[in-house]
Amino acid sequence: MSKEEKSREKILMAARKEFLEKGFSGASLRRISKEAGVTTGSLYWHFKNKEELFEFIVGGHYDHIIKLYEEGVNRVFGMTPEEQKLFTGDVGKACMLEMLEYMYQYKTEFKILIDGAAGTRYENMIQQLTEAEIHATQRFIRHMRKLDFEGRRIRPELEHILVSSMFSGMLELISHDIPFETAGECAIGLHDYHNAGWMHLLNIPDKDIQAD
């Protein structure tokens, strides 16, 4: 590893610590350079500003988790409505566990995203996932109507609360440092709880739902 590469790694290690402790808004490039044992000039040689440094640390992980979610949605809507009725729960559970596993692989970065992203384009991760899930849910409802299932009318306010609480619950596993094995069990329970609730609200009879 070259001298420049070693310097860059020290900066990134120090930046992760700083962003984790102070968040983006409270982080200081001066403290980061001091912690890394490099000059501020060296830091600016690698990263032009705090925004670029933050982006480098969390940006790719944020985009990847959104991609995993979108891939799960695409798997659902690649099915027929009949298959969606039977297997949406299974796909949703697998997607949640895949997202969780990735977040645990990069736990520091996601703790930064969850608790330290205020003031950046990443601060609304839950909101972005919630809006995407609401859109997918509405699409699912339209497909179920093709099968003559008329679900209860769900107020938009309730829909938003239910969906955002699912994502908030999943991210709390990261925030509270729940061990991965326990977190996986909790995620399955969280999914099953929400899936059963949605099927009830959509008025899809239990006999028509494939058990997980």
Where in the chain are the domains? 1-48, 57-208
The CATH number corresponding to 1-48 among 3.40.30.10, 1.20.1260.10, 1.10.10.60, 1.10.150.20 equals: 1.10.10.60
Question: pLDDT for 125-164, tens place per residue?
Answer: 999 999 999 999 889 888 888 887 776 788 899 999 999 9
Question: pLDDT for 69-97, tens place per residue?
Answer: 999 999 999 999 889 988 999 999 999 99
Question: Is the pLDDT higher at 151 or at 33?
Answer: 33
What's the pLDDT at 208? 44
DSSP for 129-151, written as a single string: HHHHHHHHHHHHHHHHHTTT--P
Question: pLDDT for 89-120, tens place per residue?
Answer: 999 999 999 999 999 999 999 999 999 999 99
3-state secondary structure 180-192: HHHHHHHHHHHHH
Is-contact 140 76, C-beta < 8 A? yes
